[in-house]
Amino acid sequence: MDLLEPIIKPYAWGSREALARLRGGDVPSAGPEAELWMGDHPAGPAGVTRDGRARTLTDVVHDDPERELGADCVARFGGRLPFLLKVLAADQPLSIQVHPDREQALAAFTAQTANGGEGPYSDDWPKPELLYALSPFEVLAGFRDRAQAAAVLDGLGVRSLRPVIGLLGAEGEGTGLMAALRTLLEWPEPDRASLVREVVAASARLADAAGPHAAAYGAVVAMARHHADDIGLVASLLMRHQVLDAGTALYMPAGGLHAYVRGVGVEIMAASDNVLRAGLTTKEVDVPELLRITDPTVRVPVVEPGEVAGRGRTHVYDCPAEEFALYRTELTATPVPLVPSAGPRIVLCTAGDARLRSPDGGVLTLQRADSCFVPDSDRGVTAEGTGTLFVAGTGLAVHRPRRLPDGPLRHRHTA
């Protein structure tokens, strides 16, 4: 068991309070702190001290993949950790985005590499995600049904949107939603700012009313403070707006259009950088590729926790991702087995304290915001204390692997 030194990502949309408070640091922090990374991702591998030497988790895994990850994980994913665990703290909206599935990512990255490597894909992996809300978390997740989307746009009373509303009424469910999204994202540049301003002004009037979509209109007004004249503000009204209660988890499948607006949560994902963006961002957007990858039929489900039989107060947030699974345990003074019991695991303490004990007598104490890496070779670990533990593992113990024709999955990054 190795105590981790996570990496803080200072993205501009991050909070100056949430992560600082979690870690017991100065509040406010000197700058925005958006994400706390715990994994071996090349863009921010966590630090460890192994045998008295300061190293990265990447180095440790590379030295002996089967000891650290286990034979099943290596056979399926190759010699790297297939998941990345984060604490995400958003004070401003993240981009409207979508992630590819495995076949799309592999085909697109292979073609991009053959054409010189320039393009939106960073690797050949998918990027499914699961978000567990530590605080109320505002999200835009998946499409509304087209009738509701038409009602939301029609309620604005903006004449320029009538053709978009017509597409929603005339086309089939998925076709109409994609046609409306395409029309908005490809809105003529000379007319874009005036449309956005008219929509924001109408949203401001409706946000204070008692209508059924007042919260969605209010989100447009709030996001406009950070992304004025961005066409993504209008497109956001095609998406389902909701505020997750603390303790709620949301699964984001491939092809699901989404944007995280504000909140603090634990996030686990396949260890990929593949993000296609369309708005609410200063980063590069790729509207044609986002439209190609987006699947309007994808629904973004709330994941109900399932109790792990015989494991005390441990629950799993089951979702159809081979790369990861997320577990939560409410500890007591009575030791309980760490779940999962094998494979690579990253353990995060978000409240109270925890003591992890291995059969060889090793003890590791975690305080709030502490995390550690537990290799496959450490079996039979138990946990006790007063805290809340999140444990990230692979999904192989939950889902049967689906072997692709080319054997073990790869994970490559462009320079």
Which pair of tokens denotes residue 118?
Answer: 């320039």
Of 66, 121, 65, 69, which Cα lies nearest the Cα of 275? 121
Whole-angstrom distance, CA of residue 198 vs CA of residue 296: 26
Q: Is 97 annotated as a binding-site member?
A: yes
3-state class (DSSP) for residue 63: helix
Is 104 annotated as belonging to a binding site? no
For 210-226, b/e burial (b = at least 16 CB within 10 A) is eeebeebbbbbbbbbee
The position carrying tokens 């603090």 is 264
Structure token digits, residue 155: 């309620």
Tell me whether residue 315 is annotated as binding. Answer: no
By residue count, the chain amounts to 415
258 has binding-site annotation? yes
Q: Are 331 and 340 in contact (CB under 8 A)?
A: no
Q: Phi first, then psi: what are they for 69, rounded to 5°?
A: -105, -30
- Number of neighbours of residue 408 by Cβ within 10 angstroms: 12
Where in the sequence numbering do the catalytic residues fall?
A: 277
What is the rounded distance in angstroms from the CA atom of residue 104 to the CA atom of residue 410?
A: 14
- Residues in binding site: 97, 99, 129, 258
